[in-house]
Amino acid sequence: MTTNPALDAGWVDPPPRKGFFTDTSVCIGCKACEVACKEWNAVPDDGMNFLGSSYDNSGELGGSTWRHVKFIEQPPVDLGMPSTSLPGSEGTKSDFRWLMSSDVCKHCTHAACLDVCPTGALFRTEFGTVVVQEDVCNGCGYCVPACPFGVIDKRIGEGVKNEGLAQKCTLCYDRLHDGLTPACAKACPTESIQFGDLDELRERAALRVEQLHGAGVPQARLYGEDPDDGVGGLGAFFLLLDEPEVYGLPPDPVVTTRDLPQMWKRAGLAAATLLAGAIAVFGAGS
């Protein structure tokens, strides 16, 4: 069992926590998730750019990019294992390997964006996800530097819907209300993006890692499944085939508000210093 942040947020008898398990080992980089997300959520275009980074031209998650497929082309991994090709045969099976991964908001158990939001626009849903209320957000931008994954951003673009407001994946909050699967997971043809109850997804993910290790893929590892990590575990976690930073993910993310009590203490001490100093300079003669 995992902690349910919906309970901590005050929901009475919430449904099971929902999330994504993205198994990058079966991602084929089709970008159906990116398209489905844009279509369902009416997310405006994020530019027709050529970025020169393999098949990735959407670049990064942002105000108008709520799903982002990453493409990494790597030289072959030499495991020092006996070759599978016949002696004397020419070449190996492949001269490089693809890593593809569909990135998304992590819907953290301890969500910094939500913690620092000064208007209450960001809130914890009954499904344990984190959503921006676009009619409340005033575009202060505090959530943007607070996110340890660089997910949420203010939407830019002259005259576009919700311009200047913080925007990100809602885990299709509207679809969840109707018992539907989020658009990206629904459109994923290989079930790389799996949606469901987080507890069940974690069990499934553990089995999948075991299976891959058995099949000779020792690099397979889970990312963000541990409820004891710096963000209390991710609502959207991943199976990766390399180190997190290869995919542009932080290797050891920590929710910044973990240090907030200490920060307030230091600020209080500094304020007291200023007050004492101001009193002292008037007490010290002409």
Partner 1 sequence: MVPPAHFTSYYGRPVLKASPWTDDIPTYLFLGGLAAGSSLLAAGADLTGRPGMRRTGRLAALAALTGSFAALVHDLGRPARFYNMLRVAKPTSPMSVGTWVLSGYGPFAAVAAAGELPGFRWLRPLGRPSGVVAAAVAPAVASYTAVLLGDTATPAWHEAHRELPFLFVGSAAAAAAGLQLVLSPTSETGPAQRLAVAGAVLELAAEHRMERSMGIAADTLHEGRAGRWMRTARALTATGAVAGLGARRSRLLSSLAGAALLGGSLCTRFGVFEAGQESARDPRFTVVPQRERLAARG
* Subset of 149-208 contacting partner 1 (CB under 8 A): 149-154, 163-166
Least CB distance to partner 1 at residue 68 (A): 10
- Which of 119, 177, 203, 218 binds partner 1 (CB under 8 A)? It is 119
Nearest to 33 by CA among 198, 195, 254, 143: 195
Q: Which is nearer to partner 1, 82 or 159 (CB)?
A: 159
Residues touching partner 1, count (CB under 8 A): 74
Determine if 269 is a binding residue for partner 1 (CB under 8 A).
Answer: yes
Contact predicate 3/232, CB 8 Å: yes
For the chain, give the longest Cα–Cα distance.
96
Contact flags string 56-75 toward partner 1, x per CB under 8 A:
x--xx-x-------x-x---
Determine if 124 is a binding residue for partner 1 (CB under 8 A).
Answer: no
Which positions from 231 through 260 interact with partner 1, judged by CB under 8 A? 243, 245-253, 256-257, 259-260
DSSP string, 233-273: -BSEEEEESS-GGGGT--SS---GGGGHHHHHHHHHHHHHH
Determine if 53 is a binding residue for partner 1 (CB under 8 A).
Answer: yes
Nearest to 231 by CA among 216, 252, 248: 252
Which positions from 80 through 99 interact with partner 1, judged by CB under 8 A? none
Contact predicate 201/194, CB 8 Å: yes
Determine if 277 is a binding residue for partner 1 (CB under 8 A).
Answer: yes
